[in-house]
Structure 1
Amino acid sequence: MNNKKILVSGLLATLVVGSFFLSGCATVEDSQRPSAELMQEAQTQFETGHYEDALKTYENLRDWYPFSPLAPEVELKIADTYYKMEKYEEAAASYEEFTRLHPKNKMAAYAFYQTGMCFFEQMDTPDRDQIPSFRAAEIFEKLILSDPDGPYSKATSEKIKKCHQNLAAHEMQVADFYFKVRQFEAALNRFERVVKMYPDVGMHEEALSKIKICQAKIASAKKHPETEKPIVFPSATQM
């Protein structure tokens, strides 16, 4: 009985060790494949929508052939694959790394535009966090300044307007809240920001109108402090 157990244990150990060496051989064999062959495989996976597989192949290609002439293209394709997978944070980081390492590359403008698109795709409604809107507008504006006649200029201009609409709507919502609680100085500052920073998104006239009301309320409060007294909300410790 003991001899049988020993025999079975030995066979299992042999199988485990054998599979380990076979796995190791496969890894070595893959790493010795020509870079062009791996590139073609990754491109096929990407074009057929197998993004997880494509990402793995591109990353292997990057790691196994770091000094290949294909290396910059591989880095860019990794970013593109993250973008297709809607992993926008990873994609943005990869695009930014590409433009940092290859500022003179013919695809640098594309990578910079795609960085902006990563933030643009994360934009939410005006009542939510507006960091993506701000970052997208910032990147797109820099792109136009650096290459006003470039291939991305027209599309970028349209997207900047969308970013500014979001940012202006957010400012208006905050200003309206301050106005409702009679915080007229704070409301005035927000309405003035809309007029100054986002004059061409359709909220200019409304902001100007409310600026006049805020100014009148502030003047009235100075003469009659009790009539326009701000609403003070209790703090968390007072509730």
Structure 2
Amino acid sequence: MPRLRLSALVLTLVALAGCGSTDETPYVERPVEEIYNEAYDAALTGDFKKAAPLFDEVERQHPYSVWATQAQLMAAYALYQANNYTESVNALDRFIQLNPSNPNVDYAYYLKGLCYYEQIVDVGRDQKLTRRSLDSFEEVVKRFPTSKYARDARLKIDLTRNHLAGKEMSIGRWYLTRGQYLAAINRFQRVVEQYDTTEQVPEALLRLTEAYVALGLQDEAKRTASVLGYNYPGTDWYEDAYALATTGEARSQAEGDTGWFGWGLGPF
């Protein structure tokens, strides 16, 4: 009798297990071309949320096929198009690690830079993603200078550097308005030294002149104004810097202007 009861229990558990699995989709291996083509068709129609897992399925079912490597990159692309930037970067890092000599690895670095680039926020917020974008695009230019993606990478390097310089300027202006001149000088010098090709440099030199005048460092103020005049002659930036260095009052102040930012150019 105990043996009969045990058998009945086993049969019951087997039956319950069978019932519990009826809702699960059984694993069915499919030809690699079929999965890849379905994923590719989904991507062509803009259904990237469907395409990404299908490209992953190519590698899962056929990891040693010639399609698997391309599917890795296509999955990362689909995730990028679906705005799943973090997952796309993870997929790209994996692709780069596993396929360092792949002919498409330049695109992987470039796409990684785009993932960060499209998340860049205004200069009032943290610029961690801007720096990562810059690093990725610099990798493209450094490793693959003749790549068809290098030209756009160089353009975006200029844009990200200008954005980072804008962040430094924003912080420097904040210090300047509060009379924290040494802290402001550090920020403006960073722009001049580290972001010397950006459009922020002329203003940085003017603000440096202003900070030096406020601290009574007339020689430094005149030297900085001279650098500004040499590199950007005839500009409003230079004319204001020259006026500050020689008279202690900006040209725009003398004309009754409160300055470009509405807070004046210093307590002179």
TM-score strictly above 0.5: yes
Instruction: Give matches, 1:47-62, under 5 Å.
Output: 47-62=44-59
From 144, 154, 158, the equivalent of 1:157 is 154
Q: Secondary structure at the match of 2:101?
A: coil
Amino acid at match of 1:66: P
1: CA distance between counterparts of 2:37 and 2:139?
Answer: 34
Identity %: 28
TM-score when normalising by structure 1:
0.79
1: CA distance between counterparts of 2:20 and 2:206?
Answer: 76
From 135, 140, 152, the equivalent of 1:138 is 135
1:35 to partner: Cα distance: 0.9
Q: Which moved more, 1:142-151 or 1:129-138?
A: 142-151
Residue in 1 that maps onto 2:65: 68
Residue in 1 that maps onto 2:209: 212
Q: Which has the higher contact order (CA 8 A, sep 6+)?
A: 1
From 31, 34, 41, the equivalent of 2:31 is 34
Amino acid at match of 1:20: S
Residue deviations 1:23-51 (CA, integer Å, cap 9, x gap)? 66x523x3x21111111111111111222
1:189 to partner: Cα distance: 0.4
TM-score when normalising by structure 2:
0.70
Amino acid at match of 2:117: F
Q: Is the 8 A contact 2:52 2:76 kept in 1?
A: no
1: CA distance between counterparts of 2:53 and 2:146?
Answer: 37
Residue in 1 that maps onto 2:21: 20
Q: Which moved more, 1:49-58 or 1:204-213?
A: 49-58
From 200, 203, 223, the equivalent of 1:203 is 200
Moved over 4 A (4+): 14-19
1: CA distance between counterparts of 2:185 and 2:210?
Answer: 9
2: CA distance between counterparts of 1:66 and 1:172?
Answer: 50
Gaps of 5+ in 2: 1-14, 218-268
Residue in 1 that maps onto 2:105: 108
How many residue pairs get aligned? The number is 204
Gaps of 5+ in 1: 1-13, 221-239
RMSD of aligned alpha carbons: 2.1
Residue in 2 that maps onto 1:226: none
Amino acid at match of 1:214: A
